[in-house]
Amino acid sequence: MKKLVCLLLTLCLATSVLLLACCSTNKMDEASKHANNYCLTCAYDEKTHIVSATQQVQFTNNTDNALCALKFHIYANQYRQDAKTTIVPILYNHVAYPNGESYGSITFDSVLVEGKPVAFVIEGDDLDVLSVPLVEELFPDQTVTVELTYQIQLANVKHRLGYTDNVVNLGNFFPILCQTVNDNFATTPYYNIGDPFVSDVANFDVTLIVKEDYLVATSGNLVSSSSENGYVTYRYTASAVRDFAIVMSNKFKKLSTLAGDTQVNYYYFADTDGEKSLETAKTALEYFNKNVGTYPYATYNVCETDFCYGGMEYPCLSMVTSGSKSYTEAIVHETAHQWFYGLVGNNQIDHAWMDEGLSEYLTYLYLDDMDVVPLSKNILAATKTYTTYVDVLNHYYTDVDRSFRPIDKYKNDNEYVIFTYVKGSLLFDTLYQTMGESKFWQAVSHYYQQMQYKMATPSNLMDSFCKKSNDEIATIFENFIDGKEIIGQIVQNG
Ligand SMILES: [Zn+2]
């Protein structure tokens, strides 16, 4: 009987594991089926630091209106000399540009719609949007193919897109479709604080031609490679990812391991303990697999790179800054973003606290569980940082705004960090302390299951937490969002 029960349980378990696996694949297939398709061929010239590219985009009109034009963000154009918004706040110039001023740009050779040249326009207040007129109106559910041929001049900058003596970062490099909101393209500008990017999941087929001594990490899975005349042609594919990034270097070393069904790679050049960083990436992926839900992609690449902030998240790829104070914290934080930003999207301009606050708090939980830093220590530090900042503001101003705001409404980068990361993590700690560990993880997991491959709103997040606890949880969210939270008491109570 016992054996039979065991056997039945084993069968049940095996079936549910299979069902879960199927479910996760089906969700990805389903998301992929409804996503737009990008096909890029890029060649990198290591002498001129120019990326020459041809990009085909197959776009399906999922709005309820006929469209006359397609709009793309061209973040590569923000690196030009006359940009109104500089790529980093002036205070960061010395970190981002250690070799002095340097500029980049994107120039288009041709834009074709269904094979025919069109008069494209570079528009937007800061020339940050490519508008592609359609030859004929595109009605709901109709598909159009656009082909862009362009060159990107990289700047010598430690940023998402740029080259240094050590690495080449290709983040936010290609023209990416603006998200459609209320039947229009959201042509939001670039901001030099936060991650001002919003994009839906799409499918990618990317070919990269690069000198053979470069090791290359991307957001895709390598499907083929061939060498000729000292150059390698790599082809990568990725289904249902929100963006596609590349980091490459002729100084990279690579370490690999497995976490669940995902191959985890660590690319590094200066990290003196690469094995430890790889192990951190692996254990973080396993930790979030267990507590949040299974990571559905086959590859996860962590890259040590030159960057002027701590790190940067892309689907299936994390940039971690060389010389970081703590590689561990940076790797865990960026890995948490694989779930929150990557798989579950949110508007990072309007509600940056959703992915930054949650990723930061999940990092604290990981560090606590792994006996690296006690949760109480991180929460005490966050509480002191936040309350001190608010105390100083209260000293100088009346009616201090403590609400979560869109990134362009924060006074500066410091205030953005204090609100989205620090106060954001305090919101999730308040939920954790109120609901208890088990219900907290159930809510996070529910949020992930419900919103995977989609764009979540604050209400979606709140609903998952209320569902796993009670409606009073909504008051906690609302108070934090509106700036009516009471945090100082935590310090007084120790
Ligand atoms: Zn982050």
Please check whether residue 151 is in contact with residue 52, taking contact to mean a CB–CB distance below 8 angstroms.
Answer: yes
Superfamily of domain 356-492 in CATH is: Neutral Protease Domain 2 (1.10.390.10)
Q: Cα of 61 to ligand 1 centre, how many Å?
A: 31
Please check whether residue 287 is in contact with residue 260, taking contact to mean a CB–CB distance below 8 angstroms.
Answer: no
pLDDT score at 325:
84
Residue 88 phi, psi (nearest 5): -130, 155
Q: Cα of 313 to ligand 1 centre, how many Å?
A: 7
289 burial (CB, 10 Å; 0-12 / 13-18 / 19+) is middle
Q: Cα of 357 to ligand 1 centre, how many Å?
A: 8
pLDDT per residue over 69-84, tens digit each? 999 999 999 999 999 9
Cα–Cα distance for residue pair 304/4, rounded to 1 Å = 51
Spatial CA neighbour of 192 closest among 307, 90, 338, 67: 90
Q: Which residues pair with 41 in a beta bridge?
A: 54, 207
The answer for residues whose C-beta is within 8 angstroms of residue 278's C-beta and 6 or more apart is: 255, 256, 257, 264, 266, 302
| Joined tokens for residue 342 | 């990557």
Q: Is the predicted pLDDT of residue 492 greater than 50, yes or no?
A: no
Q: Which pTM was predicted?
A: 0.93
Q: Cα of 337 to ligand 1 centre, how many Å?
A: 7
Length of the chain: 494
The residues whose Cβ lies within 5 A of ligand 1, an ion, are 356
CATH assignment, 35-200: 2.60.40
pLDDT per residue over 222-238, tens digit each? 999 999 999 999 999 99
Cα angle 253-258-264, degrees, rounded to a multiple of 5? 45
Tell me whether strands 317-321 and 299-305 are parallel, antiparallel or unpaired.
parallel
Residue 145's pLDDT band (cuts 50, 70, 90): very high
Cα–Cα distance for residue pair 32/10, rounded to 1 Å = 32
pLDDT score at 466:
96
Q: Which residues pair with 110 in a beta bridge?
A: 149
Q: Cα of 477 to ligand 1 centre, how many Å?
A: 20
Residue with tokens 């966050």: 382
pLDDT per residue over 282-334, tens digit each? 999 999 999 999 999 999 999 999 999 999 999 999 999 999 888 999 999 99
Q: Cα of 171 to ligand 1 centre, how many Å?
A: 15
Cα–Cα distance for residue pair 81/67, rounded to 1 Å = 33
Q: For every residue of 16-27, which 3-state class applies, written as one string?
A: HHHHHHHHHHHH
Domain edges within the chain? 35-200, 356-492
Q: Cα of 371 to ligand 1 centre, how many Å?
A: 22
Q: Cα of 37 to ligand 1 centre, how many Å?
A: 27
Spatial CA neighbour of 281 closest among 246, 313, 245, 240: 313
pLDDT score at 7:
43
